[in-house]
Structure 1
Amino acid sequence: MGVRAVATDRTVYGFQTTRIVNSINAVVDELGYIGTTADSNDFQFLPSANLMIELNENVQWRVGVSKTMSQPEYTDLKVNGSVNLQDTSDIGYDSTINSTAEIGNPDLKPYTAWSFDTTVEYYADGGSAFFASLFYKDVSNFVLSEALTDVTIDGYDQLFDTTQPVNVAKGEVYGFELGGNIVFGDFGLQANYTFVDSEFENPDNNPLLENGFPGASKNNFNAIAYYETEKFSARLAYIYRDDYFQALGGGFDRASQPAFGEGAGQVDLNFSYDVMDDITLSLNVINLTEEDARNYINESTNFRDYVTRPRTIIASVRAAF
Structure 2
Amino acid sequence: EEETDSAYFLFDFDTQMFGKTVLLSTGARFFETTLSSAGISKGIYTEIERDYSDWLPSLNMLLDITDNVLWRFGASKNITRPSIDKLSFSANVSQASRDDGDIGSIGLGTPFLQPFESINIDTAIEWYFNKQGFISLALFHKNIDNFIVEKTELLRYGSLGLPEALLQEGESVDDLFIVTTPENSDSSVIQGAEFAFSRDFDFLPEPFNRLGMITNYTWADGDTLYRDVQGTGENQVKTFAGLSNQSYNLTFYYEAEDWSARISSAYRSDYILSVQAGNTDQDESGYHDTTYVDAAAHYQLSDNFKLTLEALNLTNVREELYSDSSDRAYNTTSNGRTFLLGVSGQF
- TM-score past 0.5 threshold: yes
Match of 2:191 among 174, 177, 199: 174
- 1:237 counterpart = 2:254: no
Cα displacement (A) at 1:67 = 0.9
Counterpart of 1:254 in 2: which secondary structure? coil
Give SS of 2:252's match: strand
Alignment of 1:82-93 (within 5 A): none
CA gap 1:111/1:182 in 2 versus in 1, 3 angstroms:
same
Shift of 1:11: 2.3
Structure 2: state its 5+ residue gaps.
1-25, 95-103, 163-173, 203-209
- Cα 1:16–1:308 shift into 2, 3 Å: farther
More displaced stretch, 188-197 vs 70-79 = 70-79
Deviation at 1:149, TM superposition (A): 6.9
State yes or no: 1:123 paired with 2:128: yes
In 2, the alpha carbon distance for the partners of 1:222 and 1:276 equals 32
Which of 55, 77, 82 is equivalent to 2:65?
55
What's 2:328 paired with?
302
- 1:42-94 deviations in Å (ceiling 9; x for gaps): 2121111111111001211111111111111233223112689xxxxxxxxxx
Matched, 1:246 2:251: no
- Give the superposition deviation at 1:154: 8.5
Q: 2:74 aligns with which of 64, 68, 92?
A: 64
Mind listing any 5+ residue stretches in structure 1 that lack a counterpart?
A: 19-33, 85-98
TM-score by length of structure 2 reads 0.74
Q: Which moved more, 1:66-75 or 1:110-119?
A: 66-75
Conservation of the 8 A alpha-carbon contact between 2:227 and 2:236: no
Deviation at 1:250, TM superposition (A): 3.0
Counterpart selection for 1:290 from 316, 320, 323: 316
Kept in 2: contact 1:208–1:258 (CA 8 A): no
Residue 215 (structure 2) aligned to one of 165, 175, 191: 191
* Compared CA separation, residues 289 and 202, structure 1 to 2 (3 A): closer
| 1:124–1:104 CA distance, 2 compared to 1 (3 A) | same
Q: In the alignment, residue 67 of structure 2 is paired with which amino acid?
A: E
- The amino acid that maps onto 2:306 is T
Deviations 1:260-308 (A, max 9, x none): 1001201000112333444332211110111001111222531111111
My pick for the range that moved more, 145-154 or 307-316, is 145-154
3-state SS of the aligned residue for 2:86? Answer: helix
CA 1:103–1:120: 2 relative to 1, 3 Å: same
Alignment check: 8 A CA contact 2:150 2:182 kept: yes
> What is the number of equivalent residue pairs in this alignment?
290
Give the share of equivalent positions with the same residue, in percent. 27
Partner of 2:284: 258
- TM-score for the superposition, normalised by structure 1: 0.79
